[in-house]
Structure 1
Amino acid sequence: PGVPGLGGSGLGPGSPPNGAGERGLFPGRGGGPTRPGKRDPLGSLLWRGERPGEPAWDTPLGRGRPGWHVECTAIALRYLGMGFDVQGGGSDLVFPHHEMSASLAQVLTGEEPFAHAYVYHGMVGLDGEKMSKSKGNLVFSAQLRADGVDPMAIRLAVLSHHYREDWEWSSQVLRDAQERLDRWRAAAARPTCADGRKVLDEVRAALASDLDTPAALACVDAWAEATLADAGPDRHDHAHSRDLVVDVCDALLGVQLRPDAA
């Protein structure tokens, strides 16, 4: 197989036999199992005949262009070569796109692997449907910023979900992120604060565990809550502990707690 393991796609160990898992996913992911001329329903489209408004080239096969699996294989081989470090994308690309791109590359070169590691993020939904360029149901960070949304709140909204998790974008998600940002900034503005020395180690450990950003945010949440509670024997009157947490948020999470720096 081109893509080892296949993550949580349902195509790894224990998946349905005889291609049942692949056949279930193929139609909804552009596979066209009933397309005329196919020898096998799971066959990859290698060449597409010319269509209005799309690029096309003259070839012995007639005018047309490569199929999208071939396109990505050719780009990767030209600019990266076989055995590049990471292939990534949305979880809906595991099969057929990445599996077929990898298989094509391995057939063309006689080498493997196509990529050494595969990383996939979950799907983000809007109003009950997956966000999709083809559907046009997208939320753009540029538009949110133009509407006056703090970019740090946008970042926190995204980081509050694990990258492999499917989740739904909503105005409530953004409100929750803004409230979290407000709490963190309020804590960072306090003249005294809870001990922040362990926050660095905790955030590092969370990110080292498969980029567990929700756990990393929870570490900062705990520090902010302790600081705003204004209690505890381990409070620090000097700026070092507070500045450490501010630096952790900036360097490891990309979240700036000083508004003038955002």
Structure 2
Amino acid sequence: MTTRAEDTPPLTGRTALVTGGASGIGAAIAHRLADLGARVTIADVDPAGAESVAQEIGGDAWVVDLSDPDALTGGPGRVDVLINNAGIQRVSPIVDFEPEIFHKMLMIMVETPFRLIQSALPGMYERGFGRIVNISSVHGLRASEFKSAYVTAKHALEGLSKVTALEGGPHGVTSNCINPGYVRTPLVEKQIADQARIHGIDESQVVETIMLTHNAIKRLVEPGEVASLVGWLVGPDAAMVNGASYTMDGGWTAQ
């Protein structure tokens, strides 16, 4: 039986790279891109997690420390779809914030995306196709106390994404950000104790009184919801979406 063109997944024959793909948002995105036909590489510092997700989706694992610029040399090769998702968090007042942690966070969430974009663009330009999605945050658009490095990094990622959009657009390459609020991931779960300590409240109060206080919709974002938006941004219906930042924050930034 002949397969109709409309039955062929839109990313068939394309390769994708998802940083921080071993769990949480990254794993959900990897599954979504694989469903769309892409061959996905999972880049993560967690060997077991990266290998597990890669096996689940028939992809590849790239075990790499994204805080080490030397480790990025000789990466996964061809990349048609780049998802800059990896991130870490530290909740601390500026006066107590360790400079080395600040540097590490900017390396993972700003410099590594820059280096991966720089590496991927020549091939994307040559093929006339590229999709770059940067998983930013509501904190790329709004600040919160005690998150100096994270807010700084996400604001910088927004700027990098927009410059990439302007340079890449004429070559068939789009670059966009997704800006979720708090997502139900291990990264968010690890913040609860720190938030409780700094604000002087019980851990059971953190989600409602700190994380969701600005939301009109009082729940966490699910990783699959972010992955669904990624799937649309890299698909054919979003070819004219470029340099945008899509909030998924339950109304936080509507205030």
Range class of TM-score, shorter chain: under 0.3
Higher relative contact order (Cα pairs below 8 Å, separated by 6+ residues)? 2
- TM-score scaled to structure 1, two decimals? 0.21
TM-score (norm 2): 0.22
Larger radius of gyration: 1
Larger helix proportion of the pair: 2
